[in-house]
Chain A
Amino acid sequence: MEDLYLHDFKKDYLEEPIRKGFGRGLLKAGQINSSVVACCADLTDSTQMSLFADNFPDRFFEIGVAEQNLVTVGSGLAAGGKIPFVSSYAAFSPGRNYEQIRTTISLNNRPVKIVGSHSGISVGPDGATHQMLEDITLMRVLPNMVVLAPGDSIEAEKCTIAMASDNRPNYMRLAREATGIFTTTKTPFEIGKAYVYEKGNDVTVVSTGSMTFQALLAVDLLYKDGIDVEVIHVPTIKPLDGQTILKSLAKTGAVVTVEEGQINGGLGGAVAELIGENLPVPLFRVGVKDRFGESGEPNQLLEHFGLDAEHIRLSVHHIMERKNHGNKS
């Protein structure tokens, strides 16, 4: 596990949209298992399903702009023994078709692989309607559902391949913009596990999706400030790897969660539930604070909504204060 830690990514890191890794992973999953099929709701290129569609035209189904149909057709395909990946933008799936997911996939326990692309504020110029911030929250409360948010394109590829051999309903969120790559093909990934990416003693930063990249950038800033941060990357939000998180908190005694979504009910909510019942320590949630997004350039929006490395740094300082001087500060 030791070699999992950072590999100088800060100096010459590459960027690629996470969804590209999904496209490659789906193609590989399709090559590994002929039961893998795919459906899309008129966003085949955009969600990167085109690679699969071009290679397996008989196993790809264009559903049209019909997200309710998308997931229920997926349920039927799963009933017929297939492993269906169904993709659209997260704002529409699971945004529009939540009841169909709840009844025909979650309650019905069909192993449909729901892929919501273009999640988060970094969707950018399209604005609030398309910046899905509530998907983690929505999907996390569904029984039987596994919720995944890989951190970069390399991890998304592994995650997609792992989903194809997981027999539960899965939701995976993807992002539109190119984001920093901080894992390698050798970095371990397993559904249900969280990973310590940076060891530290003062504060634990628990982050998911591409926000782990921002958290890792913040590590350097904080090191200069004299704060030793532990970073845990959480690509599986449900089931949450509570053991790894609690073990770290027993050492650091304070936690900052970071996600590109609503802080209510998302990863921050999940960690609040975990520590509230097991190990109450000071918590600060970095995320979108009960409001909607707006148009703008991705980096501009990350800064405006307080989701960049600098804001993570300030949040860690804040939690250090609380840890050292109690909640009054």
Chain B
Amino acid sequence: MKPLSYSRLEVIADDIRQDIIKMLEHAGSGHSAGPLGEVEIYVALYFVIMKHDPEKIDWPERDILIQSNGHCVPVRYATMAHAGYFDRSELMTLRKFGSRLQGHPERLRLPALESTSGPLGSGLSQAAGLGLALRLDNQTHRYIYVVMGDGELDEGNVWEAAMLIPKYNLHNVVAIIDRNNIQIDGLTENVMPLEDLKLKWQSFGWHVIEVDGNNLESVVDTLTMAKAITDKPVAIIAYTIPGKGVDFMENDYHWHGVPPNHEQAKLALKELRSLKGKITGEHN
């Protein structure tokens, strides 16, 4: 894939946000806040960082992305469609009977997802297993990216893996934490305090980098830097705005697990098409 300019990638990111809104409205259920907040992470991974080939999903040299917070799968489906894995029209089958785009990711129905997830906390462990397998096969030049939610870090399974990966110095595992500060029951710091998150991961033996997760250039730079660090595995704390791009959704935890209705979707799409009023034109 030839490299795209940031201005082009920003347009793709905005298109993906619009697709997420349309998919969720059409599905009538699903999660809005997380997927909208993670768009830059997925654009960076699929359009800049990862070695992958939509035409050859079992390419032995590919990098692997495990989406541990499976409820955010709309952002992955939408990004994959834009990256050429399937036609964008298929996005409207999200959560429908017979669709490959299940409500939570299912590898057997869509093998390019690499794993099946939804129940939280198990992605990092799978990355650890993959990391061990790749090391046995002298394949440590391949990277394994794991996207986790911050609420997900309540799960003990995460910390079991967080101990194991530094033990074997699986430095080609890159953990990306979507730090959007919300989970279903409210703000993460009220539900179950996570801070000092950076210190926690550092004390578990990780090299921690913090980044503005909605700044595409910063996300790309950080993921690029992560590849160069080999003395420790890297955990990226990506600060994102849940519901990013849609004013009435941003930073409101009530949008964690609900889709927009028709009127809300119209409003959201209008805002996204005009990039929050920065653009006026045919769509208005």
- Complex CA gap A66/B116 in Å reads 21
1/0 contact trace for A92-128 toward B, CB 8 Å? 0000000110011001110000000000000000000
- Cβ-defined contact, B108 with A109, below 8 A: yes
For residue B186, CB closer than 8 A to chain A, the reply is no
B198 to chain A, nearest CB (A): 23
**Chain B neighbourhood of A99, CB < 8 A:** 119
A-B contacts, 17 of them at CB < 8 A, read A37-B132, A64-B160, A68-B125, A69-B128, A69-B164, A72-B126, A72-B128, A72-B129, A72-B157, A73-B126, A73-B129, A73-B161, A75-B115, A79-B64, A84-B129, A103-B117, A108-B107
* Tally of A interface residues using CB under 8 Å: 28
For residue A326, CB closer than 8 A to chain B, the reply is no
- Complex CA gap A68/B130 in Å reads 16
Contact of B125 among A58, A76, A84, A108 (CB under 8 A): A76
For residue B114, CB closer than 8 A to chain A, the reply is yes
**Chain B neighbourhood of A103, CB < 8 A:** 116-119, 122
**Which residue of chain B is the closest to A99 with respect to CB atoms?**
B119
Rank and list the top 6 A-B pairs by shortest CB-CB distance, nearest first: A76-B129, A80-B133, A72-B125, A69-B160, A76-B126, A66-B160
**Which residue of chain B is the closest to A105 with respect to CB atoms?**
B116
For residue B282, CB closer than 8 A to chain A, the reply is no
A213 to chain B, nearest CB (A): 37
- Cβ-defined contact, A69 with B161, below 8 A: yes
Contact of B164 among A59, A63, A77, A84 (CB under 8 A): A63
B228 to chain A, nearest CB (A): 23
Given contacts A72-B157, A80-B129, 7 further A-B contacts (CB under 8 A): A72-B161, A76-B125, A76-B127, A76-B130, A99-B119, A108-B107, A108-B116
Q: What residues of chain B have their CB less than 8 Å away from a CB belonging to chain A?
A: 64, 106-108, 114-119, 121-122, 125-134, 136-137, 156-157, 160-161, 163-164, 168
- Cβ-defined contact, A81 with B137, below 8 A: yes
1/0 contact trace for A46-86 toward B, CB 8 Å? 00000000000011010110101100111111111110100
A103 to chain B, nearest CB (A): 5
**Chain B neighbourhood of A104, CB < 8 A:** 115-117, 122, 126
- Complex CA gap A76/B135 in Å reads 12
Contact of B126 among A37, A59, A75, A109 (CB under 8 A): A75
**Chain B neighbourhood of A61, CB < 8 A:** 132, 168
Contact of A72 among B107, B122, B132, B168 (CB under 8 A): B122
- Cβ-defined contact, A79 with B157, below 8 A: no
**Chain A neighbourhood of B122, CB < 8 A:** 68, 72, 75, 100, 103-104
**Which residue of chain B is the closest to A104 with respect to CB atoms?**
B122
- Complex CA gap A68/B126 in Å reads 11
- Complex CA gap A77/B136 in Å reads 10
B159 to chain A, nearest CB (A): 9
